[in-house]
Structure 1
């Protein structure tokens, strides 16, 4: 099989050889492993209890957290490990894109900075979830703070959208201009950024429904599909790097 399949050189570059056991091959495999772990943990967390809605009465939130305490702790643990895996995946993805775009590459840097913001907000959301669990299980006398914490957790989740859009925009441009990864991954990243941009309009709505709701759901699915597909590509074709002109 031609080692250059699915990888077209950008201007002034030619596709370099695959080095699966070389300096760049191992980090690509670690990146792929981290992406696969992240995807698996996010899917697993779907089957755990959700954080109660901030619209619920404080007593109902406390009762739900207490009744499903084990499930919430498991959800929190899976989420925190997934956050670590995402940061490892992000670092490896940035390394791959920077090899092709160059050390001063703007779009590889955008992926790193915006992705770091996404990871930081994920950790903040996990911290708020932990506070909710600890507050409810501690038998606090005043549960009135629980709805505020739940609403804050929801808005932290919404705040992930802007840096996520920037991250996928950077990935799309970097991939399409350098061919560091197959071009179709660049187009999927662009579609994900567009759908998340539409979903961003949901911050002005009390309930997310209609086109905005569909965009938010499909955008989340594409986020996960893109990470999974990128991980598989890096696992199958690790170590690819450009040659000079």
Structure 2
């Protein structure tokens, strides 16, 4: 039981590590001076992506790396969260399953988007350089769609928390708010520029992404404190073996 308790505590705390990864990735992004003379491209001016990436190759690589690590740690945290929610729901655990599927599908889409972003940095020929704007556009759209799919995760988590009391109710309401903001990511592929574009938009990217990271931080803190305060389960003991008796032998 002690080993399971250790794994539960590490899983709960992995959300905190994921938040750290996301913060470092944001610092790397800001170090590229995204609003400078050569700004980070929106979908409308994706043709400038080669210039921007060539000026900041290492920062972009680190941004992709730390964001990828953060998503991987989020999936580890998801295992601990799913256990808490499914135990609170009981045998059906429908909401917990929807949350698990939504988080997994959203994470896969975001990881594919990050892979396409990284592939822009690997251009070694004029033909590949010509394809960079299309790859950049695809990466932004896939990342946004991943955020949209995460709305299923947040709606389900909020529903389970509010109906079962599995965690603090305020965390459930915050999950529902994050779900509404994540739905905006579904609209971002239709916008080339402005606040809803998926590459640089305030509503198309930054609002739902910030809400996701903040919720993850708070949920991980709550779950980590809960796991450390949970009393350790006593070890299960099997039945005491009995020695065969010889009374009555030969009777």
Q: Gaps (5+ residues) in structure 1?
A: 1-20
* Cα RMSD, aligned residues only: 2.6
Give SS of 2:85's match: helix
Secondary structure of the 1:144 match is helix
Q: Which residue of 2 aligns with 1:230?
A: 219
Residue 84 of structure 1 corresponds to which residue in structure 2?
A: 72
Rounded to whole Å, the distance in 1 between the matches of 2:126 and 2:203 is 40
CA contact (8 A) 1:192 1:219 kept: yes
Aligned counterpart for 1:161 among listed residues 147, 159, 163: 147
Q: Distance in 1 between matches of 2:97 and 2:113?
A: 24
Distance 1:199 1:33, change over 3 A: same
Deviation at residue 203 of structure 1 after TM alignment? 3.7
Higher relative contact order (CA 8 A, sep 6+): 1
Name the residue aligned to 2:134. 148
1:148 Cα deviation after fit: 0.4
Where structure 2 has 5 or more consecutive residues not aligned to the other structure, the ranges are 35-39, 232-251
User: Which residue does the alignment assign to 2:235?
Assistant: none
| Corresponding residue number in structure 1 for 2:210 | 221
Q: Corresponding residue for 1:42?
A: 22
**Are 2:56 and 1:71 aligned?**
no
- Greater Cα shift, 167-176 or 200-209: 200-209
Q: CA deviation at 1:146?
A: 0.7
Call closer, same or farther: CA 1:27–1:79 in 2, change over 3 Å: same
| Candidates 155, 170, 185, aligned match of 1:184 | 170
User: For residues 209 and 72 of structure 1, do their structure 2 counterparts lie closer, same or farther at Cα, with a shift above 3 Å needed?
Assistant: closer
Normalised TM-score (structure 2)? 0.76
Matched-pair contact (CA < 8 Å) for 1:174–1:180:
yes
Structure-2 residue corresponding to 1:4: none
Query: Number of matched residues?
Result: 216
Alpha-carbon spacing, 1:141–1:204, altered in 2? closer, same or farther (3 Å): closer
Residues 197-234 of structure 1: CA distance to partner in whole angstroms, max 9, x if unpaired? 24533443333438x94586443322111111111111
TM-score with structure 1 setting the length = 0.78
Task: Pick from 43, 55, 62 the counterpart of residue 44 of structure 2.
Answer: 55
